[in-house]
């Protein structure tokens, strides 16, 4: 039997959510790249085009879900990496608080940008 | 129940010659993860400067947004950075799929081969995408 090693504490909600968001992000990130580099060439992007895409409820919802899941997956990944590198005690608590604030700020600002791009609001 | 073993300090890169495929996969996944999360913050920051809600940039017909994005796309360095970002994202996706299988206990005995496959696929997709990414600036 191959020896199993994971830097995560298996069974915790963060371990589970990291994988659930990973599955979603595989599709969402690939879709985002294809949409904005191949279907629509990045150099040809205009506000009118962005507004048209963000005006669709499905596309808007997808982008908002993408923002939240990517923020969680990325920030939780950074936290795991730091724990893996030996972060513990008070430092761990301080870093966790900073990362939560950074994550919330990212989601709030991302949401403001998404709303500004959408004619629905 | 998962087992763990004393792998020493992984960040001792002086040991790199001893690293196995799985170790390289772990290092590349971590490195690409750091780059992607850094880019996520940068991406929102750049879009914010182009369309800062409630300011002049968001007013009117979005001309400022269009000129900001198209101005960036005129820079050759931005196009090369985008190719790099694609490579980073594709590897993270490919190796991420590999990790999901490993977590499910599928293909554990060929986890080294699936790492090499991730690398080859990343290289192939990146190279195939270069003409699209550099169109108009070269």
| B29 belongs to a structural domain | yes
Q: Which two tokens stand for residue B20?
A: 């196995």
Q: What are the Cα distances from residue A66, in Å, to A69, B63, B131?
A: 5, 26, 27
| B7 belongs to a structural domain | no
Which CATH number covers residue B130?
1.20.1300.10
pLDDT of residue A48: 92
Q: Which residues in chain B are contacts of A22 at CB distance < 8 A? A: 96, 99-100
| Sole residue written with tokens 């992607």 | B36
Instruction: Give chain A's largest Cα–Cα span.
Output: 57
pLDDT of residue B59: 56
pLDDT of residue B53: 58
- pLDDT tens string for chain A (121 positions)? 445 556 566 668 999 999 999 999 999 999 999 999 999 999 999 999 999 999 999 999 999 999 999 999 999 999 999 998 889 999 999 999 999 999 999 999 999 999 999 999 8
| B12 belongs to a structural domain | no
CA distance B19 to chain A (A): 15
pLDDT of residue B1: 45
**Burial code of B58-94, b = ≥16 C-beta within 10 A, e = fewer?**
beeebebbbebbeebbeeeeebeebbebbbbbbbbbb
d(Cα B73, Cα B82) in Å, to the nearest integer?
A: 10
Taking each helix axis from N to C end, the angle separating A47-54 and A89-117, rounded to the nearest 10 degrees, works out to 100
Q: Which residues in chain A are contacts of B122 at CB distance < 8 A? A: none
* Angle made by CA atoms B80, B25, A73, in degrees to the nearest 5: 75
Say which of B3, B70, B97 has its CB closest to residue A4.
B3
pLDDT of residue B66: 92
Taking each helix axis from N to C end, the angle separating B63-73 and B21-51, rounded to the nearest 10 degrees, works out to 140
Structural domain spans, chain A: 13-117
d(Cα A8, Cα A18) in Å, to the nearest integer?
A: 10
pLDDT of residue B52: 64
Q: What is the CATH number of domain A13-117?
A: 1.20.1300
Chain-chain contact of A50 with B62 (C-beta, under 8 angstroms): yes
pLDDT of residue B58: 55
- 3-class DSSP state of A77: helix
Q: What are the Cα distances from residue B73, in Å, to A44, A54, A107, B20, B22?
A: 9, 21, 25, 39, 37
**Number of structural domains found in chain B:** 1
Q: Which domain holds residue B67?
A: 21-134
Q: Which residues of chain B have pLDDT under 70?
A: 1-13, 52-60
Q: Which two tokens stand for residue B80?
A: 């090369």
Say which of B33, B53, B93 has its CB closest to residue A26.
B93
| B15 belongs to a structural domain | no
Give this complex's ipTM.
0.91
| B4 belongs to a structural domain | no
pLDDT of residue B11: 56
């Amino acid at each position: 039997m191959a020896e199993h090693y994971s830097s995560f504490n298996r069974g915790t909600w963060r371990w589970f959510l990291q994988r659930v968001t990973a599955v979603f992000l595989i599709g969402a990130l690939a879709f985002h790249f294809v949409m904005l580099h191949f279907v629509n060439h990045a150099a040809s992007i205009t506000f009118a085009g962005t507004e048209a895409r963000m005006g669709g409820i499905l596309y808007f919802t997808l982008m908002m879900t993408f923002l939240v899941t990517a923020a969680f997956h990325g920030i939780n990944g950074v936290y795991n990496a730091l724990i893996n590198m030996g972060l513990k005690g008070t430092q761990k608590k301080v870093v966790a608080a900073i990362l939560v604030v950074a994550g919330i700020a990212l989601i709030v600002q991302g949401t403001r940008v998404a709303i500004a791009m959408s004619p629905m609001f | 129940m998962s087992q763990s073993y004393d792998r020493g300090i992984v960040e001792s890169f002086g040991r790199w010659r001893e690293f196995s495929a799985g170790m390289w996969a772990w290092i590349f996944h971590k490195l690409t993860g750091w780059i992607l999360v850094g880019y996520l913050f940068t991406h929102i920051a750049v879009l914010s400067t182009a369309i800062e809600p409630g300011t002049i940039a968001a007013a009117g017909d979005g001309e400022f947004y269009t000129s900001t994005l198209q101005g960036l796309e005129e820079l050759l360095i931005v196009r090369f950075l985008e190719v790099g970002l694609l490579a980073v994202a594709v590897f993270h996706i490919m190796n991420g799929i590999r990790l999901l299988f490993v977590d499910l206990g599928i293909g554990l005995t060929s986890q080294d081969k699936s790492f090499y496959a991730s690398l080859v696929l990343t290289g192939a997709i990146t190279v195939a995408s270069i003409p699209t990414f550099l169109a108009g600036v070269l």
